[in-house]
Amino acid sequence: MQGNNKQLYIIAGANGSGKSTLAGMLLPQKDLEFLNADNIAKEIAPDAINSVPISAGKIYFKRLNEYLKNDKSFAVESTLSGNNIIRIIKEARKRNYKIILVYAFLQNCTDCIERVQNRVKNGGHNVPEEDIIRRYYKSIIKFWDEYRLMVDEWAIFYNGYEYTPMMVSFGSSDNIQVVNEEMQNDFNNILKLARRKINGL
C-alpha cells in the first residue's frame, strides 16, 4: 500500500508523437509499471500484434483495475481523443492518486504519419492517416483546454529530435513555467492552427 504517495502518470500525444519513447525515458527513473495495450499485444502475439486488439484490451482493463484496487503507482498512454482516459482520471482521483500528465508533440502531423509508417514496417500497429491527422489537432486542444486542468501536474515535451525529448514547459493548472520559449511558441502556434482546423476556418 503506497497511501497518498501513489501516482498515475499519463503519457499523452497524437499517434506517432513518440509516447513510448518518452515513457522509456521518464518511467525507469520513477520505477513505474507502464500499462500499454501494444505491449500487451506483443505478449499475446509477438509476430501479429494487430490480430489481437480485443484480447489485449481485455487484459489492459483487467490490469488497470488491479493496479487501482491495489493502490499501485503506474503509467498509461493516451492520445486524449477518446473518453477512456477521463474515466481513468476520475477513478484515480477517487482513490487519492497524484496525477501527472506528460504531453509529447511534433511540429506537424506529417511527421506523425511518417513515424507510424516506420513503426508498421518494424512490426508495430497501424493507424489510418485520417485518424492520425484528426487526433493530431484534437489531441493538442484537449490537452491544453481540458486535461491539464484535470490533473495535479503537467509537462510538455517536444519529441522531434532523434537524441532525446526536450522539455518545453511544465506547470499545475494555469500556473506555467516555460523552459524553452522558442518551442513553447511553436506549441502555441500549433494550438492556434488546431483550433482553426477543428472550427473549419
Domain count, the chain: 1
Which of 40-49, 54-63, 117-126, 185-194 tops mean pLDDT?
185-194
Which is nearest to 147 in space by CA: 78, 195, 69?
78
157: left (phi over 0), alpha (psi -120 to 50) or beta: beta
Rg (CA), the chain: 17
- pTM summary value: 0.88
Which is nearest to 108 in space by CA: 158, 66, 178, 68?
158
Q: What is the pLDDT of residues 105-134, one digit of tens each?
A: 999 999 999 988 887 777 767 788 898 999
**SS3 state at 24:** helix
Q: What is the pLDDT of residues 130-179, one digit of tens each?
A: 989 999 999 999 999 999 999 999 999 999 887 789 999 999 988 999 99
**What CATH number has the domain bearing residue 45?**
3.40.50.300
Q: How far apart are CA 78 and CA 146, in angstroms?
A: 14
